[in-house]
Structure 1
Amino acid sequence: MTDDDTNRPWYREPWPWVLIAIPGITILWSIFLILFSMEQHVSMVEDDYYDEGMGINRELSRDIEAANLGLSGRVSFTDGERLDILLESPERRNWERLEVELTHATLGDRDQTTIAQRVGEGRYRARIQPLSDGRWYIDIRNTGNDWRLRGALKTPLEEPLTLQPIREARQQ
Protein backbone atom coordinates (compact mmCIF):
# COMPACT_ATOMS: atom_id res chain seq x y z
CA MET A 1 0.00 0.00 0.00
CA THR A 2 1.13 3.44 -0.79
CA ASP A 3 0.88 6.37 1.48
CA ASP A 4 -1.63 8.04 -0.91
CA ASP A 5 -4.14 5.17 -0.54
CA THR A 6 -4.29 5.42 3.22
CA ASN A 7 -4.74 9.17 3.29
CA ARG A 8 -7.56 9.38 0.70
CA PRO A 9 -10.71 11.05 2.05
CA TRP A 10 -13.88 8.90 2.14
CA TYR A 11 -15.67 10.93 -0.55
CA ARG A 12 -13.00 9.94 -3.06
CA GLU A 13 -13.92 6.27 -2.66
CA PRO A 14 -16.63 4.81 -5.01
CA TRP A 15 -18.34 2.47 -2.50
CA PRO A 16 -19.78 5.10 -0.14
CA TRP A 17 -21.40 6.80 -3.15
CA VAL A 18 -22.93 3.53 -4.33
CA LEU A 19 -24.37 2.94 -0.86
CA ILE A 20 -25.72 6.52 -0.70
CA ALA A 21 -27.18 6.28 -4.23
CA ILE A 22 -29.41 3.28 -3.44
CA PRO A 23 -31.67 5.05 -0.88
CA GLY A 24 -31.41 8.30 -2.87
CA ILE A 25 -32.76 6.67 -6.02
CA THR A 26 -35.46 4.96 -3.96
CA ILE A 27 -36.61 8.29 -2.51
CA LEU A 28 -36.70 9.95 -5.94
CA TRP A 29 -38.64 7.03 -7.45
CA SER A 30 -41.16 7.15 -4.57
CA ILE A 31 -41.73 10.89 -5.09
CA PHE A 32 -42.26 10.28 -8.81
CA LEU A 33 -44.81 7.50 -8.14
CA ILE A 34 -46.72 9.63 -5.61
CA LEU A 35 -46.95 12.56 -8.04
CA PHE A 36 -47.95 10.26 -10.90
CA SER A 37 -50.70 8.55 -8.88
CA MET A 38 -52.12 11.91 -7.77
CA GLU A 39 -52.58 12.96 -11.42
CA GLN A 40 -54.39 9.78 -12.48
CA HIS A 41 -58.15 9.40 -12.12
CA VAL A 42 -59.42 5.88 -11.50
CA SER A 43 -63.02 5.66 -12.70
CA MET A 44 -63.63 2.21 -11.21
CA VAL A 45 -63.38 3.40 -7.62
CA GLU A 46 -66.49 4.99 -6.16
CA ASP A 47 -65.88 7.90 -3.80
CA ASP A 48 -68.79 7.17 -1.49
CA TYR A 49 -69.10 3.40 -1.58
CA TYR A 50 -71.42 3.26 1.43
CA ASP A 51 -74.08 5.43 -0.21
CA GLU A 52 -73.71 3.44 -3.44
CA GLY A 53 -74.25 0.19 -1.53
CA MET A 54 -77.32 1.55 0.25
CA GLY A 55 -78.61 2.83 -3.10
CA ILE A 56 -78.86 -0.75 -4.33
CA ASN A 57 -81.54 -1.41 -1.73
CA ARG A 58 -83.45 1.75 -2.66
CA GLU A 59 -83.39 0.94 -6.38
CA LEU A 60 -84.99 -2.47 -5.97
CA SER A 61 -88.44 -0.83 -6.04
CA ARG A 62 -88.05 -0.10 -9.77
CA ASP A 63 -87.29 -3.76 -10.43
CA ILE A 64 -90.37 -4.77 -8.42
CA GLU A 65 -92.49 -2.39 -10.50
CA ALA A 66 -91.17 -3.96 -13.73
CA ALA A 67 -92.10 -7.39 -12.35
CA ASN A 68 -95.58 -6.14 -11.38
CA LEU A 69 -96.09 -4.83 -14.93
CA GLY A 70 -94.97 -8.19 -16.31
CA LEU A 71 -92.29 -6.55 -18.43
CA SER A 72 -89.62 -8.40 -20.33
CA GLY A 73 -87.45 -7.23 -23.15
CA ARG A 74 -85.32 -8.37 -26.00
CA VAL A 75 -82.32 -6.31 -27.11
CA SER A 76 -80.37 -6.60 -30.34
CA PHE A 77 -77.77 -4.51 -32.14
CA THR A 78 -77.89 -3.73 -35.85
CA ASP A 79 -74.77 -2.55 -37.67
CA GLY A 80 -73.15 -1.93 -34.29
CA GLU A 81 -74.68 1.57 -34.17
CA ARG A 82 -78.39 0.86 -33.74
CA LEU A 83 -80.04 -0.62 -30.68
CA ASP A 84 -83.40 -2.36 -31.16
CA ILE A 85 -85.59 -3.10 -28.14
CA LEU A 86 -88.73 -5.21 -28.05
CA LEU A 87 -90.73 -4.73 -24.82
CA GLU A 88 -93.32 -7.34 -23.97
CA SER A 89 -96.03 -6.80 -21.40
CA PRO A 90 -99.37 -8.55 -20.80
CA GLU A 91 -101.16 -5.20 -20.92
CA ARG A 92 -99.41 -3.97 -24.11
CA ARG A 93 -98.14 -0.77 -22.58
CA ASN A 94 -96.41 1.67 -24.91
CA TRP A 95 -94.16 4.46 -23.75
CA GLU A 96 -93.09 7.10 -26.26
CA ARG A 97 -89.46 6.99 -25.16
CA LEU A 98 -87.17 4.82 -23.07
CA GLU A 99 -83.89 5.76 -21.43
CA VAL A 100 -81.08 3.32 -22.17
CA GLU A 101 -77.81 3.27 -20.27
CA LEU A 102 -74.91 1.14 -21.48
CA THR A 103 -72.14 0.80 -18.91
CA HIS A 104 -68.77 -0.79 -19.59
CA ALA A 105 -67.70 -3.23 -16.88
CA THR A 106 -64.36 -1.54 -16.19
CA LEU A 107 -63.92 1.57 -18.36
CA GLY A 108 -66.19 4.39 -17.22
CA ASP A 109 -65.21 6.69 -20.09
CA ARG A 110 -66.96 4.36 -22.56
CA ASP A 111 -70.37 4.50 -20.83
CA GLN A 112 -73.29 5.73 -22.93
CA THR A 113 -76.76 7.04 -22.22
CA THR A 114 -79.31 7.43 -25.00
CA ILE A 115 -83.05 7.75 -25.66
CA ALA A 116 -84.89 5.03 -27.57
CA GLN A 117 -87.91 6.23 -29.57
CA ARG A 118 -90.99 4.08 -30.14
CA VAL A 119 -91.14 2.81 -33.73
CA GLY A 120 -94.04 0.38 -33.37
CA GLU A 121 -96.09 -1.68 -30.94
CA GLY A 122 -93.63 -2.39 -28.12
CA ARG A 123 -90.65 -1.68 -30.42
CA TYR A 124 -88.02 0.95 -29.74
CA ARG A 125 -84.89 2.07 -31.55
CA ALA A 126 -81.88 4.17 -30.53
CA ARG A 127 -78.60 5.23 -32.08
CA ILE A 128 -75.48 4.37 -30.09
CA GLN A 129 -71.74 4.65 -30.46
CA PRO A 130 -70.16 1.35 -31.49
CA LEU A 131 -69.44 -0.82 -28.45
CA SER A 132 -65.97 -2.18 -27.92
CA ASP A 133 -65.62 -5.89 -27.32
CA GLY A 134 -66.03 -6.94 -23.71
CA ARG A 135 -68.57 -7.03 -20.90
CA TRP A 136 -71.31 -4.39 -20.77
CA TYR A 137 -74.32 -3.73 -18.56
CA ILE A 138 -77.57 -2.42 -19.96
CA ASP A 139 -80.26 -0.57 -18.01
CA ILE A 140 -83.59 0.25 -19.71
CA ARG A 141 -86.22 2.41 -17.98
CA ASN A 142 -89.13 4.64 -18.81
CA THR A 143 -88.55 8.40 -18.76
CA GLY A 144 -90.46 8.67 -15.46
CA ASN A 145 -87.97 6.23 -13.91
CA ASP A 146 -90.83 4.11 -12.51
CA TRP A 147 -89.43 0.73 -13.60
CA ARG A 148 -86.29 -0.75 -15.12
CA LEU A 149 -84.93 -3.83 -16.81
CA ARG A 150 -81.27 -4.68 -16.40
CA GLY A 151 -78.91 -7.20 -17.86
CA ALA A 152 -75.33 -8.02 -18.77
CA LEU A 153 -74.06 -8.69 -22.24
CA LYS A 154 -70.81 -9.58 -23.87
CA THR A 155 -69.96 -7.96 -27.17
CA PRO A 156 -69.97 -8.81 -29.94
CA LEU A 157 -73.57 -9.88 -29.33
CA GLU A 158 -74.42 -12.75 -31.64
CA GLU A 159 -78.06 -13.31 -30.65
CA PRO A 160 -80.64 -11.04 -28.97
CA LEU A 161 -80.33 -10.52 -25.23
CA THR A 162 -83.41 -11.25 -23.11
CA LEU A 163 -84.07 -8.95 -20.15
CA GLN A 164 -86.36 -9.77 -17.25
CA PRO A 165 -86.82 -8.24 -13.80
CA ILE A 166 -84.30 -9.57 -11.32
CA ARG A 167 -85.25 -12.75 -9.49
CA GLU A 168 -85.85 -11.02 -6.13
CA ALA A 169 -88.42 -8.70 -7.72
CA ARG A 170 -90.28 -11.56 -9.41
CA GLN A 171 -90.65 -13.45 -6.11
CA GLN A 172 -92.43 -10.60 -4.31
Structure 2
Amino acid sequence: MTQTPESQTKHNDNAPFYRQPIFWMLMSGPILVVIAAFVSFGIAKTHAQDMVSDDYYKDGKHINLQIDRDNHALERNISAQVMFNPEGSAVKVFVNGQFEAQNGVKLLLLHPTRQDEDRTIELKAINGNEFAAQFEPLPPTVHWYIRVEDGQGVWRVQEKWLPNQGGAVMLKAQVPTLSVSAPQSVD
Protein backbone atom coordinates (compact mmCIF):
# COMPACT_ATOMS: atom_id res chain seq x y z
CA MET A 1 0.00 0.00 0.00
CA THR A 2 1.43 3.33 -0.97
CA GLN A 3 1.14 6.47 1.07
CA THR A 4 0.35 9.77 -0.47
CA PRO A 5 2.48 12.82 0.40
CA GLU A 6 -0.51 14.26 2.27
CA SER A 7 -0.76 11.27 4.65
CA GLN A 8 2.98 11.39 5.26
CA THR A 9 2.83 14.99 6.59
CA LYS A 10 -0.01 14.11 8.97
CA HIS A 11 1.96 11.40 10.72
CA ASN A 12 5.48 12.76 10.45
CA ASP A 13 6.87 12.26 13.96
CA ASN A 14 10.28 13.53 12.93
CA ALA A 15 9.02 17.11 12.33
CA PRO A 16 10.06 19.81 14.84
CA PHE A 17 7.74 20.42 17.82
CA TYR A 18 6.30 23.65 16.40
CA ARG A 19 5.01 21.73 13.38
CA GLN A 20 3.11 19.23 15.50
CA PRO A 21 -0.66 19.96 15.78
CA ILE A 22 -0.82 18.69 19.37
CA PHE A 23 1.70 21.35 20.42
CA TRP A 24 -0.52 24.17 19.11
CA MET A 25 -3.62 22.64 20.67
CA LEU A 26 -1.93 22.52 24.07
CA MET A 27 -0.31 25.97 23.82
CA SER A 28 -3.33 27.88 22.46
CA GLY A 29 -4.87 28.22 25.96
CA PRO A 30 -1.79 29.70 27.69
CA ILE A 31 -1.08 31.99 24.72
CA LEU A 32 -4.64 33.35 24.83
CA VAL A 33 -4.35 33.91 28.60
CA VAL A 34 -1.13 35.91 28.16
CA ILE A 35 -2.73 38.06 25.44
CA ALA A 36 -5.82 38.61 27.61
CA ALA A 37 -3.59 39.63 30.54
CA PHE A 38 -1.88 42.31 28.45
CA VAL A 39 -5.22 43.60 27.15
CA SER A 40 -6.63 43.71 30.71
CA PHE A 41 -3.54 45.57 31.94
CA GLY A 42 -3.90 48.14 29.16
CA ILE A 43 -7.58 48.70 29.98
CA ALA A 44 -6.86 49.02 33.70
CA LYS A 45 -4.03 51.48 33.10
CA THR A 46 -6.05 53.77 30.82
CA HIS A 47 -9.17 53.73 33.03
CA ALA A 48 -7.50 53.99 36.43
CA GLN A 49 -9.69 55.53 39.15
CA ASP A 50 -8.52 58.05 41.73
CA MET A 51 -9.56 56.11 44.80
CA VAL A 52 -6.53 56.94 46.93
CA SER A 53 -5.19 60.40 47.65
CA ASP A 54 -1.78 61.14 46.19
CA ASP A 55 -0.75 63.04 49.31
CA TYR A 56 -2.49 61.38 52.25
CA TYR A 57 -0.18 63.08 54.77
CA LYS A 58 -1.14 66.53 53.56
CA ASP A 59 -4.81 65.53 53.56
CA GLY A 60 -4.50 64.24 57.12
CA LYS A 61 -3.08 67.56 58.30
CA HIS A 62 -6.19 69.31 56.96
CA ILE A 63 -8.70 67.16 58.87
CA ASN A 64 -8.82 69.59 61.81
CA LEU A 65 -9.45 72.47 59.42
CA GLN A 66 -12.36 70.55 57.86
CA ILE A 67 -13.84 69.75 61.31
CA ASP A 68 -13.61 73.44 62.25
CA ARG A 69 -15.54 74.36 59.11
CA ASP A 70 -18.25 71.83 59.99
CA ASN A 71 -18.43 73.24 63.53
CA HIS A 72 -18.79 76.81 62.20
CA ALA A 73 -21.68 75.69 59.98
CA LEU A 74 -23.33 74.03 62.99
CA GLU A 75 -22.88 77.13 65.18
CA ARG A 76 -24.34 79.35 62.45
CA ASN A 77 -27.24 76.91 61.80
CA ILE A 78 -26.44 76.86 58.09
CA SER A 79 -28.40 74.72 55.65
CA ALA A 80 -28.66 74.77 51.88
CA GLN A 81 -31.15 73.46 49.38
CA VAL A 82 -29.56 72.62 46.03
CA MET A 83 -31.77 72.14 42.96
CA PHE A 84 -30.43 70.96 39.60
CA ASN A 85 -32.22 71.28 36.27
CA PRO A 86 -33.15 67.98 34.52
CA GLU A 87 -30.15 68.21 32.16
CA GLY A 88 -27.70 68.64 35.05
CA SER A 89 -26.31 71.86 33.57
CA ALA A 90 -27.71 74.52 35.91
CA VAL A 91 -28.24 74.85 39.64
CA LYS A 92 -30.12 77.06 42.08
CA VAL A 93 -29.03 77.13 45.72
CA PHE A 94 -30.90 78.56 48.71
CA VAL A 95 -28.69 79.10 51.77
CA ASN A 96 -30.20 79.66 55.23
CA GLY A 97 -28.59 80.54 58.54
CA GLN A 98 -26.11 83.16 59.68
CA PHE A 99 -23.74 83.73 56.77
CA GLU A 100 -22.30 86.70 54.93
CA ALA A 101 -23.62 86.67 51.35
CA GLN A 102 -21.02 89.25 50.30
CA ASN A 103 -18.24 86.66 50.90
CA GLY A 104 -19.67 84.58 48.07
CA VAL A 105 -20.79 80.97 47.96
CA LYS A 106 -19.21 78.04 46.12
CA LEU A 107 -20.72 74.73 45.07
CA LEU A 108 -18.41 71.74 44.87
CA LEU A 109 -19.51 68.65 42.97
CA LEU A 110 -17.24 65.73 43.88
CA HIS A 111 -17.32 62.61 41.73
CA PRO A 112 -17.19 59.44 43.85
CA THR A 113 -14.31 57.83 41.95
CA ARG A 114 -12.79 60.17 39.36
CA GLN A 115 -11.10 63.29 40.64
CA ASP A 116 -10.86 64.77 37.13
CA GLU A 117 -14.69 64.97 37.04
CA ASP A 118 -14.85 67.15 40.21
CA ARG A 119 -16.19 70.67 39.73
CA THR A 120 -15.94 73.88 41.73
CA ILE A 121 -18.64 76.36 40.73
CA GLU A 122 -18.75 79.99 41.84
CA LEU A 123 -22.40 80.80 42.48
CA LYS A 124 -23.83 84.18 41.51
CA ALA A 125 -26.07 85.92 44.05
CA ILE A 126 -29.64 86.49 42.86
CA ASN A 127 -30.89 87.98 46.13
CA GLY A 128 -30.06 87.67 49.85
CA ASN A 129 -29.96 83.89 50.16
CA GLU A 130 -30.55 82.68 46.59
CA PHE A 131 -27.67 81.78 44.27
CA ALA A 132 -27.47 80.25 40.79
CA ALA A 133 -25.00 79.07 38.14
CA GLN A 134 -24.83 77.31 34.79
CA PHE A 135 -22.13 74.83 33.79
CA GLU A 136 -21.33 71.94 31.47
CA PRO A 137 -23.72 68.98 31.97
CA LEU A 138 -22.61 66.52 34.62
CA PRO A 139 -21.43 63.10 33.49
CA PRO A 140 -23.73 60.27 34.54
CA THR A 141 -22.90 58.48 37.77
CA VAL A 142 -24.80 56.76 40.57
CA HIS A 143 -24.11 59.52 43.10
CA TRP A 144 -22.23 62.77 43.74
CA TYR A 145 -20.93 64.40 46.88
CA ILE A 146 -22.34 67.94 47.04
CA ARG A 147 -20.70 70.64 49.15
CA VAL A 148 -21.75 74.27 49.63
CA GLU A 149 -19.24 76.57 51.31
CA ASP A 150 -18.56 80.26 51.70
CA GLY A 151 -15.92 82.03 49.64
CA GLN A 152 -13.68 82.59 52.69
CA GLY A 153 -13.56 78.89 53.67
CA VAL A 154 -15.13 79.49 57.10
CA TRP A 155 -18.04 77.02 56.91
CA ARG A 156 -19.30 74.19 54.74
CA VAL A 157 -22.29 71.86 54.49
CA GLN A 158 -22.25 68.66 52.47
CA GLU A 159 -24.33 65.66 51.56
CA LYS A 160 -24.47 62.74 49.15
CA TRP A 161 -26.79 63.27 46.15
CA LEU A 162 -28.41 60.45 44.18
CA PRO A 163 -29.45 61.94 40.79
CA ASN A 164 -31.95 59.15 40.09
CA GLN A 165 -33.96 60.23 43.17
CA GLY A 166 -34.56 63.75 41.85
CA GLY A 167 -32.76 66.99 41.17
CA ALA A 168 -32.95 68.41 44.69
CA VAL A 169 -30.87 67.74 47.79
CA MET A 170 -30.90 69.29 51.26
CA LEU A 171 -27.58 69.99 52.96
CA LYS A 172 -27.58 70.57 56.72
CA ALA A 173 -24.83 71.33 59.18
CA GLN A 174 -23.92 68.15 61.01
CA VAL A 175 -21.83 67.27 64.01
CA PRO A 176 -18.44 66.39 62.53
CA THR A 177 -17.11 62.87 62.98
CA LEU A 178 -13.70 61.40 62.30
CA SER A 179 -15.12 58.78 59.95
CA VAL A 180 -14.77 60.03 56.40
CA SER A 181 -17.98 59.54 54.43
CA ALA A 182 -17.13 61.87 51.56
CA PRO A 183 -13.92 62.65 49.73
CA GLN A 184 -11.95 65.46 51.35
CA SER A 185 -10.99 68.21 48.94
CA VAL A 186 -7.98 70.25 49.92
CA ASP A 187 -8.01 73.74 48.45
TM norm structure 1: 0.74
Secondary structure in structure 2 of the residue aligned to 1:167: coil
**Structure 1 spans left out of the alignment, 5+ residues:** none
**Structure 2 spans left out of the alignment, 5+ residues:** 178-187
Identify, as 1 or 2, the structure richer in strand. 1
Rounded Cα–Cα distance in structure 1 between residues aligned with 2:53 and 2:15: 52
Match of 1:122 among 116, 120, 129: 129
Aligned residue pairs, count: 166
> For the Cα contact (< 8 Å) 2:79–2:173, is it kept in 1?
yes
- Pairing of 1:70-85 with structure 2 (within 5 A): 70-78=77-85, 80=87, 81-85=89-93
> For the Cα contact (< 8 Å) 2:78–2:99, is it kept in 1?
no
Match of 1:43 among 44, 49, 66: 49
Q: Could you tell me the percent identity over the aligned residues?
A: 19
- Pairing of 1:10-29 with structure 2 (within 5 A): 10-11=15-16, 12-29=19-36
The corresponding residue for 2:13 is: 8
**Do structure 1's residue 136 and structure 2's residue 136 form an aligned pair?**
no
User: How large is the Cα RMSD of the aligned pairs?
Assistant: 3.2
Match of 1:167 among 175, 178, 183: 175
Cα 1:6/1:133, change in 2 over 3 Å: closer
Rounded Cα–Cα distance in structure 2 between residues aligned with 1:14 and 1:158: 61
The corresponding residue for 2:100 is: 93
**Structure 1, residues 33-88: CA drift from partner, whole Å, max 9, x if none?**
334433x1423322437437626733211111111222111222245433111111
Rounded Cα–Cα distance in structure 1 between residues aligned with 2:161 and 2:11: 76
**Do structure 1's residue 154 and structure 2's residue 162 form an aligned pair?**
yes
**Do structure 1's residue 103 and structure 2's residue 121 form an aligned pair?**
no
